[in-house]
């Protein structure tokens, strides 16, 4: 039986979804580290038919405290050729209601995979939680196993001898009575809750857009609370991870879905902890990287002129580490526990309940590997990409081409998605955890369906839609349609080897820690979304950020052209890079280090693959200041002519919902190296039949100094043209 338990645990680690892998690894470590010298795990052991009753040692505790619990040892059955036993755990509370848990597994408390798991509240119909496809038991995931089940106190008892004392839910209990030959009665009626934890689809709100008509004017949607009928429609569409309040929880807690949001002040305790589909008060860390920038870094930039001059990616990263640690040790993991502690009808005793099932909802994707490994005790189990305010293959790829000198085709959405997913899959691989994607309202609507299915095909396990707040909102009718699209794809391709998918990358490209793709203006030319970290600034080696990032993207382009699957990671100490056939290290000194076949080669720059023949667009820029004494407005004109392919670049929808081809990326650097702005132009002439066009931009110049105006354009094959213009203001 011991061998069977070990083999079953190995199956968890190798075959289960990413969130279960991390739990499996934790249980694996706990299991073996807790083995006594004679290699017999500490637990409750007794002959079949034994019923042990434990009594609460303390008196005068609140009504929701379990006063007695009974553990019954059921019959041993043969499951898949191995022995497995039923365990029945029933609890009594002073306030009256009781609950019963039934498990079929190798041991109690369970440290390995459980064959079946049933939860019954009072005299209600028992609920059996099982996997939608495999039928295997799904155990509660909200807290760690050691905090969920009774544990013997003291030394390991002799064979088939029950411990005299036990601890459960923060309280201590004494063995009161032991009965023999207790009959095992299996419930005659069972309701099965079928869950699919490796495909979680949801929204962050328990409200919906009242009017689903798209808004492009920056105004807010009116939101109304979700009704029971709304939830029923969402479940039919395929959403299975739903936010609720206390009343709404009663509508769906016995549906085959996960639910969350009803917190420590509202849930039934401890019963809710044993519902395998209850995920907790919160389920994600919300944008710790962006919060660091907005609430820690930007206030300093406004108040400290010297900080604007000295800021580096490494400085932001160090601040991010402090912010993240506070969040992990004081924030979301402890919301549920704080809600329970505030209640007068509960005494948690020694029980701590940090949630172990949270994920990161974050835009700063290069940080994924660090965020999944930095806080092993209270950190997240997955990283979900949050698209910034304006992103998509026809928006972002042209910017990468114009900013970094690479040539990625805007017409191939994989060139966009594989960069984002490269960071996510790489982080999942080195951390042993999971990843996912979300869709926001400003994501290019042509990209959204494919991004979801492509992420699924590459091993993503979390899929979410932001359903509120101005242009970030995906209206309800749209996320229902996208969910049906994803659900159909999942049903048509149900078989996934998540471990294999996690290890598909053959090349890993390492970026210096702290370097980033930007935020709302991803690709436009700044790190962390800060103009102070614009690409023209130099790092500690005197190398421009643009060159470092250009080397990075050129190596990505090489992999895409060669068809080599790749992962992307910050170059962190201690990363396990075993299994990659090639390691490419992008260095801050401008060099590129390649490790392959046991050989290390240092190159002066990136390897440029053969690119499509043909002519890049032509671009001529003339500028005419209205004055030479600041402040004044500079008029800049860009004269374009298409080369071998059409010019295309959009910055997103206008107020009519149309994606205009703005053709030129305008950027102004100066007068100080930390000063950076972007602005829009307008079409004043063309485009003509031969591909000529003229655009005009009005550039406000507010202070004296030397300025550099950068204008860039690109075509649908990624060929770019850049023109610099310089001027002075007195």
List Cα–Cα distances, 642 to 379, 684, 696, 716, in angstroms: 50, 16, 17, 11
pLDDT band at 145 (very low <50, low <70, confident <90, very high): confident
List Cα–Cα distances, 591 to 6, 380, 585, in angstroms: 47, 34, 9
pLDDT band at 612 (very low <50, low <70, confident <90, very high): confident
- Asked whether residue 19 carries a pLDDT value surpassing 80, the answer given is no
- Asked whether residue 300 carries a pLDDT value surpassing 60, the answer given is yes
- Asked whether residue 196 carries a pLDDT value surpassing 80, the answer given is yes
Please give the pLDDT value at position 342: 96
Of 310, 370, 315, the closest CA to residue 573 belongs to 370
Please give the pLDDT value at position 158: 63
List Cα–Cα distances, 730 to 192, 630, 636, 700, 707, in angstroms: 76, 6, 19, 14, 11
Query: Is there a contact between 543 and 589 (Cβ–Cβ < 8 Å)?
Result: yes
What's the mean per-residue pLDDT of the chain?
91
Alpha-carbon distance of 15 to 496, in angstroms, equals 10
Please give the pLDDT value at position 620: 98
Query: Is there a contact between 485 and 457 (Cβ–Cβ < 8 Å)?
Result: no
Please give the pLDDT value at position 718: 96
Burial-class residue 644 by CB neighbours within 10 Å (0-12, 13-18, 19+). Answer: middle
Is the CA virtual torsion 334, 142, 489, 369 positive or negative? positive
Alpha-carbon distance of 533 to 90, in angstroms, equals 60
- Asked whether residue 160 carries a pLDDT value surpassing 70, the answer given is no
pLDDT digits (tens, 9 = 90+) for 544-592: 999 999 999 999 999 999 999 999 999 999 999 999 999 999 999 999 9
- Residues 134-157: what's their mean pLDDT? 87
φ and ψ of 516, to 5 deg: -150, 165
Alpha-carbon distance of 418 to 405, in angstroms, equals 18
Whole-number percent of the chain with pLDDT over 70: 93
Minimum mean pLDDT among 80-84, 187-191, 290-294, 610-614: which range? 80-84
Whole-number percent of the chain with pLDDT over 90: 86
Give the number of residues written for the chain: 730
- Asked whether residue 25 carries a pLDDT value surpassing 50, the answer given is no
Place of tokens 């209600």: 124
pLDDT digits (tens, 9 = 90+) for 590-603: 999 999 999 999 99
Please give the pLDDT value at position 282: 96
Q: How many CA atoms lie within 13 A of 450 on its CB side?
A: 13
pLDDT band at 155 (very low <50, low <70, confident <90, very high): low
- Asked whether residue 55 carries a pLDDT value surpassing 90, the answer given is yes
pLDDT digits (tens, 9 = 90+) for 488-535: 999 999 999 999 999 999 999 999 999 999 887 787 879 999 999 999
- Asked whether residue 716 carries a pLDDT value surpassing 90, the answer given is yes
- Residues 313-329: what's their mean pLDDT? 97
- Residues 184-213: what's their mean pLDDT? 96
Alpha-carbon distance of 249 to 271, in angstroms, equals 14
Please give the pLDDT value at position 34: 38
Joined tokens for residue 107: 């041991």
List residues bridging with 552 in a β-sheet. Answer: none
Please give the pLDDT value at position 627: 74
Query: Is there a contact between 554 and 607 (Cβ–Cβ < 8 Å)?
Result: yes
pLDDT digits (tens, 9 = 90+) for 438-490: 999 999 999 999 999 999 999 999 999 999 999 999 999 999 999 999 999 99
Please give the pLDDT value at position 156: 59
- Residues 8-13: what's their mean pLDDT? 37
Measured from the Cβ of residue 449, the count of other Cβ atoms closer than 10 Å reads: 15
Alpha-carbon distance of 547 to 404, in angstroms, equals 7
Q: Which residues contact 621 (CB under 8 A, 6 or more apart)?
A: 636, 637, 638, 639, 709, 711, 723, 725
Minimum mean pLDDT among 143-147, 199-203, 274-278: which range? 143-147
pLDDT digits (tens, 9 = 90+) for 83-136: 899 999 999 998 777 899 999 998 999 988 899 999 999 999 999 999 999 999
List Cα–Cα distances, 243 to 231, 253, 278, 476, in angstroms: 10, 11, 10, 14
């Amino acid at each position: 039986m011991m061998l069977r338990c070990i083999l079953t645990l190995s199956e968890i680690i190798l075959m289960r979804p990413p969130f279960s892998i991390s739990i499996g690894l934790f249980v694996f470590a706990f299991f073996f580290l807790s083995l006594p010298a004679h290699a017999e795990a500490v637990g409750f052991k007794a002959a079949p038919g034994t019923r042990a009753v434990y009594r609460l040692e303390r008196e005068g505790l609140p009504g929701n405290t379990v006063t007695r619990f009974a553990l019954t040892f059921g019959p041993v059955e043969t499951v898949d050729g191995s022995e497995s036993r039923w365990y029945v755990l029933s609890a009594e509370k002073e306030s009256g209601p009781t609950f019963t848990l039934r498990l079929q597994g190798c041991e109690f408390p369970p440290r390995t995979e459980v064959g079946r798991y049933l939860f019954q509240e009072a005299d209600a119909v028992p609920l059996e939680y099982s996997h939608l496809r495999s039928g295997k038991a799904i155990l509660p995931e909200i807290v760690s196993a050691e905090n969920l089940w009774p544990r013997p106190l003291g030394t390991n008892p002799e064979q088939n001898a029950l411990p005299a004392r036990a601890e459960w839910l923060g309280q201590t209990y004494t063995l009161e009575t032991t009965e023999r030959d207790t009959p095992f009665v299996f419930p005659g009626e069972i309701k099965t809750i079928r869950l699919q934890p490796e495909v979680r689809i949801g929204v962050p709100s328990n409200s919906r857009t009242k009017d689903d008509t798209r808004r492009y004017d920056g105004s807010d949607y009116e939101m109304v609370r979700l009704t029971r009928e709304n939830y029923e429609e969402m479940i039919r569409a395929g959403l299975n991870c739903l936010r609720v309040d206390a009343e709404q929880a009663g509508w769906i807690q016995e549906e085959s879905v996960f639910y969350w949001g009803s917190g420590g002040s509202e849930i039934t305790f401890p019963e809710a902890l044993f519902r395998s589909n209850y995920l907790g008060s919160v389920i994600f860390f919300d944008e710790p990287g962006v919060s660091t920038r907005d609430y820690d870094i930007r206030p300093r930039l406004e108040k400290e002129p010297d900080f604007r001059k000295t800021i580096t990616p490494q400085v932001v990263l160090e601040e991010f580490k402090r912010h993240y640690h506070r969040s992990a040790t004081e924030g979301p993991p402890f919301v549920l526990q704080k809600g329970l502690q505030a209640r007068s009808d509960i005494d948690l005793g020694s029980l701590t309940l940090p949630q172990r099932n949270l994920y990161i909802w974050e835009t700063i994707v290069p940080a994924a590997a660090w965020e999944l490994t930095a806080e092993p005790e209270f950190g997240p189990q997955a990283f979900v990409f949050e698209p910034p305010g304006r992103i998509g293959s026809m928006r972002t790829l042209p910017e990468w081409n114009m900013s970094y000198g690479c040539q990625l085709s805007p017409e191939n959405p994989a060139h966009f998605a594989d960069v984002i997913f490269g960071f996510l899959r790489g982080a999942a691989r080195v951390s042993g955890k999971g990843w996912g994607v979300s869709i926001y309202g400003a994501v290019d609507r042509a990209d959204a369906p494919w991004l979801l299915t492509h992420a699924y095909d590459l091993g993503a396990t979390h899929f979410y839609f932001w359903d509120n707040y101005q242009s970030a909102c995906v209206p309800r009718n749209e996320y229902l349609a996208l969910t049906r699209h994803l659900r159909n794809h999942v049903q048509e391709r149900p078989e996934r080897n998540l471990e294999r998918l996690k290890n598909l990358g053959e090349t890993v490209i390492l970026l210096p820690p702290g370097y980033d793709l930007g935020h709302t203006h991803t690709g436009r030319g700044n790190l962390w979304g800060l103009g102070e970290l614009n690409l023209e600034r130099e790092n500690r080696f005197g190398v421009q950020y643009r060159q470092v990032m250009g080397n990075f993207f050129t190596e990505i382009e090489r992999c895409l052209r060669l068809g080599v699957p790749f992962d992307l990671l910050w170059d962190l100490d201690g990363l396990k890079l075993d299994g990659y056939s090639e390691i490419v290290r992008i260095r801050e000194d401008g060099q590129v280090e390649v490790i392959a076949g046991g050989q290390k080669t240092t190159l002066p720059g990136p390897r440029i693959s053969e690119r499509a023949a043909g002519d890049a667009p032509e671009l001529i820029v003339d500028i005419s200041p209205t004055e030479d004494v600041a402040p004044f407005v500079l008029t800049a004109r860009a004269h374009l002519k298409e080369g071998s392919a059409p010019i295309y670049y959009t910055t997103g929808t206008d107020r009519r919902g149309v994606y205009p081809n703005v053709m030129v990326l305008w950027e102004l650097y100066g007068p100080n190296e930390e000063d950076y702005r972007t602005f829009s132009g307008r079409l004043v002439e063309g485009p003509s039949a031969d591909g000529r066009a003229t655009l005009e931009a009005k550039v406000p110049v507010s202070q004296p100094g030397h300025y550099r105006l950068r204008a860039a354009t690109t075509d649908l094959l990624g060929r770019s043209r850049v023109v610099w213009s310089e001027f002075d203001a007195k």
